[in-house]
Amino acid sequence: MYHNISSKFELSFRSVSSNLLKKHLKLLKNKGFNNITKLDLIKGGLFDNKKSVFITFDDAYEGVYYSALPVMEEFGFSAAVFIPAGYIGKFNEWDFTPFSRLRHMDKKMLINLSKNGWVVGAHGSTHTDLRKCSNGCLRREICDSKKKIEDIIGEEVFLFAYPFGLYNEKVIDMVKNCGYKYAFATANGITNNRYAISRMALYFIDASPIPLLNDKYCRLYLFRNRIISSLSALTPIYKKYINHLW
């Protein structure tokens, strides 16, 4: 799981440079990892092959379109982006990136990605903690966002990623009811549960993702990522007091 990808240095914990992404992809290729495609997912084969990888970009920043798409194509990889339906073409309001503001992909970019074999998934509507939502709110965030993105890309939206990776049973039930095939958590996910798929986040500090491919180090990574994820609990404070300063 990545967030933003940028071709220049960006003071953001969630931005990975396109050079580093290239390094990661090269390593995956050299180690013989297969890329899971949109078709594999439609056929239900996410967990079929142990030596396969599915790359996702949360929040669908336009940096991914400009700086990740060309690199991914170079290595023959496709991926999924998760767009918060209420932020299509708008500036981000929750990631802390002083001196610059990240923008989310617009309709055209999402359509192009989808045509290029990428999967466009939903990521709620307002990027809120869904565990705190009423039934009506869950319906808007999970079902309405699906419909809105489907109307744009003209394809079924069947992947969902929980904002901040946060979910509970009630949230999962709504995801199922709205007709999604898979839903993604972060380090708090459960292996082999198609509605709370565990993902490993990569940050600019991950000069080499080799430990990720090694079971022994994987636990350490999970622990680190849990700590980083828990920092997102600070988002409401950031939104309220800091964000408007930039």
Calculated CA dihedral for residues 219, 220, 226, 228, nearest 10 degrees: -150
Which of residues 42 and 234 has its CB atom nearest to Zn ion in the complex? 234
Among the candidate windows 54-62, 99-107, 148-156, 166-174, which touches Zn ion by CB under 5 A? Answer: 54-62
HSE, side-chain direction, 13 A CA sphere, residue 191: 6
Out of 21, 25, 58, 64, name the contact with Zn ion by CB under 5 A. Answer: 58
- Inter-residue contact 64 to 104 (CB < 8 Å): no
How big is the site for Zn ion, counted in residues (CB under 5 A)?
A: 2
Which of residues 95 and 206 has its CB atom nearest to Zn ion in the complex? 95
Question: Phi then psi for 77, rounded to 5 degrees?
Answer: -100, 145
Which of residues 56 and 114 has its CB atom nearest to Zn ion in the complex? 56
Which of residues 10 and 59 has its CB atom nearest to Zn ion in the complex? 59
Shortest Cβ 140–Zn ion spacing (Å): 17
Shortest Cβ 94–Zn ion spacing (Å): 8
Confirm or reject binding of residue 10 to Zn ion (CB under 5 A).
no
* Cβ-count burial 197-215 (b if 16+ within 10 Å, e if not): bbbbbbbbebeebebbeee
Confirm or reject binding of residue 95 to Zn ion (CB under 5 A).
no
HSE, side-chain direction, 13 A CA sphere, residue 80: 29
Q: What span, in angstroms and rounded, lies between the C-alpha atoms of 129 and 214?
A: 32
Which of residues 58 and 206 has its CB atom nearest to Zn ion in the complex? 58
Shortest Cβ 204–Zn ion spacing (Å): 17
Q: What span, in angstroms and rounded, lies between the C-alpha atoms of 202 and 210?
A: 11
Shortest Cβ 161–Zn ion spacing (Å): 7
Shortest Cβ 50–Zn ion spacing (Å): 28
Among the candidate windows 57-65, 110-118, 165-173, 224-232, which touches Zn ion by CB under 5 A? Answer: 57-65
63 closest CA partner among 24, 95, 27, 29: 95
Which of residues 35 and 235 has its CB atom nearest to Zn ion in the complex? 235
Confirm or reject binding of residue 59 to Zn ion (CB under 5 A).
yes
Q: What span, in angstroms and rounded, lies between the C-alpha atoms of 240 and 151?
A: 32
Q: What span, in angstroms and rounded, lies between the C-alpha atoms of 194 and 198?
A: 9
Which stretches of the chain bind Zn ion, using CB under 5 A? 58-59
